[in-house]
Each structure stands twice: as C-alpha cells, then as structure tokens.
Structure 1
C-alpha cells in the first residue's frame, strides 16, 4: 500500500467511530501481559488508541496508561468509555510526551498505519532504555472451516492479510518495526499468538466487518454487495445461522525491546 492509500485507509475510521466502539473486540489479556513482558505497573502508551479497546485491557491489568489517538471522533469515543484515562490527540509520528517518559508503547490493530521512518525515532524517544514496543492484532482463526469460508466470501477488504494467522506472521515479520538508523536502538523482534474469541450474532459480525478500513473506503454499492454476500454466507452455515456464537480468534503480538 502506497502512502496515499495508507492515509486514505487510516483516516477512514472516524466516520464509523460509534460502530467501531460497539463492535470491535477487546484483546486477550494473556497477549497484553506478554507484550508488557509480564511486568505490572508500567507506564504504558497506547499509540493509535482508537476508541480504547486496548486501553481498557491495559487499565484492567493495572498499567498506568496514556492514550494517543489522531482522529477526533475516535478520541471522543475513547474518552466517553474511559473518562479516567489521560487521552491526548497526537500521532505516532509526533507523540505529545516527553523523552524517556514511557516504559512500554503498545498499539492495537494500528501499527501498520504508522510511517515507521518517522514514528520509529519518535517511539524510541519516548521509551525509557529497556522499554518495550509491541503491536497487537486480533485475527480470525481461519484454521476453523467456517471462518476460512468467511474469509473467501468477504474478500481482502473485509478480511485482509493481517486478519488471519499465517499471513499475519508474514506481514508483520519485519515491516512494522523501526528501520534504518533507529533500528540499532531495538533488539530482535518476537512474535506470539494467544487464543481469543468474541461473542457475535450474524448481524453483529457483519457490523464488525463493516468497520474494516477496506470496507469503509469502498464505493457504497460495492460495499453493500460485499456485506450482502457475507450475510448470505453466515445464514447458510449451521454455526452462525441462528443466535449467538463465538467467533474463533487469536490475539497476535509482535514485541521488540529498546536497547
């Protein structure tokens, strides 16, 4: 994705902020603990915090959290959900925090939007020596047959390359970590995956997929056609046709430590 497309996609979420807050999943606590190095009480920056899905998990784990989010509508939803959290407007490329003030920088389903040539030095600046940078992604477990079918029907706009385990590992192996000169300030990256799930109905799963960036930037006629195919597929499967079900997921994490 080139820079213009990345900007278009990354700026699309504000229009769906309320739906995002309602339908996007939280993060597996085990994945967040691993991302933090299992150390409680850290000063943590949730960078690109959106509506606070990861922020809420960090708070539940006892972290001292500050959230930074560029989109005003998303930031409004975060502040509404978590009024006690310090939440600031800002971007990964211009973090409104002092040097060395943070023990860990975490990012939930957002690091792929960062311009790491600029954001990498900024993250290194706010991190204390020995601090952790980690990205987390919620992905659908397409090792389950009906989820694999959903991925085929939905297409890449609804279920993209970072939304299933195997391609997540490839996509995040090195492309979202600080590069060039600043890379020397970080150690070797680690990847890990943790079981997760979200209770959904067919309607709420469709609503969740409708908040994906690829869906939000799609022409309306094409978007409705894609959502219609997804609805029809879910109605055809015994696992999802009636009532609530658990969407099989993994929270996948990529972690690197500042030297």
Structure 2
C-alpha cells in the first residue's frame, strides 16, 4: 500500500473536525507560563496570531490568557468548527507558508501542533516578516509519554497495524524540524501533564489523528475495535490516564 502523502494527511482533519474538537487534549496552563518565561513578556495584551489553529484548542487558551489573538486556518471543516466554538475570536484563511498578516505586526506567532505541516523554507521567512523586533515564535507539540507502559504498548500496536514508523504524538527531533535553516535560535522546555478520560474518549482522540483518517474507515474501525478490547482489559473501570510531554520551542527576534 502506498504511504499517504504529507498533503493528504494535512487535509484529512477537515472531515473529522467535530471529532477532533470534542476529543483532542488541550494544553496545561504551565505551558503558557513557560511561553511567557522564555519570551520575557506576558501574553496578556500582546498581539498574537495562532497559525494552523484548527478547531481553536490553543487559541482559546491564548484568548483566555488575555492575548489579542487572531487565528489563521486553511481548512474549511476546521474553520467552521472554530467559528462555532469561538465566535468572538477573529479567524482568517491561510497557512504558515503564506501568512495573510502585515509585516512587523505581531508580538507572538504560535503554532500548536501545526508547524510540521508547513514548509520551513517558506514558513521561516514568513515568521521573520510578520514578527516585530523582540517578537517570539512559539511552537509546541503534545507528545505521548512513551515511558508509560500502556502508552508504549499501544504505540507498537498502531505501528504494526498501519505499517508506519510514526508513533502518534511522538517527540521526534523537533529542533531540526522547526528550522533546518538555522535562522532561529530556539530555547526548549518540556512540560509533562495528564488527563483522565473514558476509554471511548481516548479512542476517539487517537482516531482523529491523520494516520487513522487517511487509511480508510474500515482499517481504522478494525484497529479501534480491537484496541478497545485491550484497553478495557487493562482499565476495567473504563477510565484511563493519558500522559503527555508538551515539547515547546521558542525563539525571540532581536
């Protein structure tokens, strides 16, 4: 079977936007504390653009923090879900490779779970263009904590089923991924957190990842049915704890 393309995976979320919004994890408040600490300034009152905002999970946190935030999202389904969830937050269509934003207009440019869908040869110059002097580019990813035995075992089952070496939420070399040009000097923080959810919420969460969405309903359903059996054997009360390491990279312009 031919591996799904990067583009097909990037666009796969639009058909599952409601599932994504209802079941994907958010981020801990300590992440935004770390963003402010590394940037040396508060988010409250700052002009922020959240790129690849999706259904607005990170945008909502930035807005609640007091940021003057604008969302940028390329997908129809995701943008529609965003507008439903955050009707008072402006959203414009676009992506990190072609930012529909004015030059030197931002204090923060954020990418929550979305920088890897960009082409750094284009998104790095665009970030440099739209940030003000002293502005910060912040990138972060929720990564599954593979040192937790049940999470590691599930990751191996996903790899076997889909024939993929991409573990959902795996922390790869995010520094090299972030800027292969070396034009940004990133500082790094890692924040561990967890949430307790029903087994079915967890299954809906992992089922909203692109590796499931692009391999077809039959293949995804077969895995999720069998995985539910594994999880209920491990967690007979029907509740489990998802553990994440949020990998944060932040660079500040001179």
CA distance in structure 2 between the aligned counterparts of 1:29 and 1:107, rounded to whole angstroms = 16
2:169 corresponds to which of 130, 148, 163 = 163
1:146 corresponds to which of 140, 145, 150 = 150
Report the TM-score when normalising by structure 1: 0.88
Q: CA deviation at 1:153?
A: 1.8
Deviations 1:193-221 (A, max 9, x none): 11222231111111101100111001333
Corresponding position of 1:80:
84
Maintained 8 Å contact 1:137/1:162:
no
SS of aligned partner of 2:194: strand
Maintained 8 Å contact 2:194/2:242:
yes
Corresponding position of 2:50:
46
1:199 corresponds to which of 196, 212, 228 = 196
CA distance in structure 2 between the aligned counterparts of 1:161 and 1:131, rounded to whole angstroms = 33
SS of aligned partner of 1:33: helix
Deviations 1:72-130 (A, max 9, x none): 11011111111111111111111111111111111111111001111111111111112
Corresponding position of 1:19:
19
Structure 1 pair 152/161, CA: closer, same or farther in 2 (3 Å)? closer
Corresponding position of 2:176:
174
Corresponding position of 1:219:
216
Q: CA deviation at 1:244?
A: 2.8
Maintained 8 Å contact 1:68/1:88:
yes
SS of aligned partner of 1:136: strand
Q: CA deviation at 1:243?
A: 3.2
CA distance in structure 1 between the aligned counterparts of 2:231 and 2:6, rounded to whole angstroms = 30
Q: CA deviation at 1:176?
A: 2.0
1:228 aligns to 2:225 (yes or no): yes
Structure 2 stretches lacking a partner, 5+ long: none
Corresponding position of 1:55:
59
How large is the Cα RMSD of the aligned pairs? 2.0
- Paired residues in the alignment total 245
Structure 1 stretches lacking a partner, 5+ long: none
CA distance in structure 2 between the aligned counterparts of 1:155 and 1:233, rounded to whole angstroms = 15
Corresponding position of 2:252:
257
CA distance in structure 2 between the aligned counterparts of 1:241 and 1:39, rounded to whole angstroms = 46
SS of aligned partner of 2:247: strand
